[in-house]
Amino acid sequence: MELEVYNIKGEKTARTVVLDDAVFNIEPNDHAIYLDTKQFLANKRQGTHKSKEKWEVNASTKKLKRQKGTGGARAGSAKSPLFVGGGRVFGPQPRIYNFKLNLKLKKLARRSALTYKARENQIMVVEDFSMDTPKTRSFTEILKNLQIGDKKTLLVTVQPGENLLLSVRNLKRARVSRATDLNTYEILHANHLLLLESSVKELEKLCQ
């Protein structure tokens, strides 16, 4: 696939970039995408959820009422899950949600996600640029010039500068990622991939 290279003013340059079919034009594997996305979201979970069981509740051990003659069921402890403030039966406990995936499968998932973006014409290549000062308005103008200002955009660079990161961090619909850090979830979450010209080769190396 061949894409034209744009400048930050939204104008076409005389250059084009050829995307590797081995990365951007394969037979997508939806199950690989599912597993890689599931792992990414699972690894973000803290797993610190916790509820008290019966033995952990701090309450009196005094028998609440006599055993027989009340007309109701027997009750021996205020810690029982049957009472308000008692322990919880089979409640959540701290656990680790992380799990491992084969590296080949993760690469297949990224290639599949990039293929979907390429088929839907949601990839744009822009010539390399840098921000002289950290200014959100300047970056917003660049997105408007490229006619993607109203879309969730992921800018892929080789090494984002500090000014560029500061310019983007306050925008809800824009994110910056290094090509070597790009994952399947970020690719699919964005409506549009904005690739810097120098990042295309790095991205292809990551997925091969």
Domains and CATH numbers, the chain: 2-45+97-207 (3.40.1370.10), 48-96 (no CATH)
Strand partners, 12: 6
Q: What is the pLDDT of residue 174?
A: 94
Q: What is the pLDDT of residue 150?
A: 87
Q: What is the pLDDT of residue 67?
A: 92
Q: In angstroms, what CA-CA distances link 192 with 18, 31, 119, 148, 203?
A: 18, 22, 12, 8, 16
Mean pLDDT to the nearest integer, 87-97: 94
Q: In angstroms, what CA-CA distances link 94 with 46, 90, 91, 154, 175?
A: 9, 12, 10, 34, 32
Mean pLDDT to the nearest integer, 100-117: 95
pTM: 0.83
pLDDT higher than 90, residue 207: no
End-to-end CA distance of the chain: 17
Q: Are 76 and 63 in contact (CB under 8 A)?
A: yes
- Give me 47's structure tokens: 């797993």
Q: What is the pLDDT of residue 71?
A: 92
Q: What is the pLDDT of residue 21?
A: 93
Q: Are 124 and 193 in contact (CB under 8 A)?
A: yes
pLDDT, one tens digit per residue, over 71-81 is: 999 998 999 99
pLDDT, one tens digit per residue, over 165-192 is: 999 999 999 999 999 999 999 999 999 9
Angle between helices 103-119 and 30-43 (to 10 degrees): 110
pLDDT, one tens digit per residue, over 25-67 is: 999 999 999 999 999 999 999 999 999 999 999 998 889 989 9
Report the alpha-carbon distance of residue 110 to residue 23 in Å, rounded: 8
Q: What is the pLDDT of residue 208?
A: 81
pLDDT, one tens digit per residue, over 118-154 is: 999 999 999 999 899 999 999 999 999 999 988 999 9
pLDDT higher than 90, residue 1: no
Q: What is the pLDDT of residue 69?
A: 92
Mean pLDDT, the chain, as a whole number?
Answer: 93
109 pLDDT band, cuts 50/70/90, is: very high
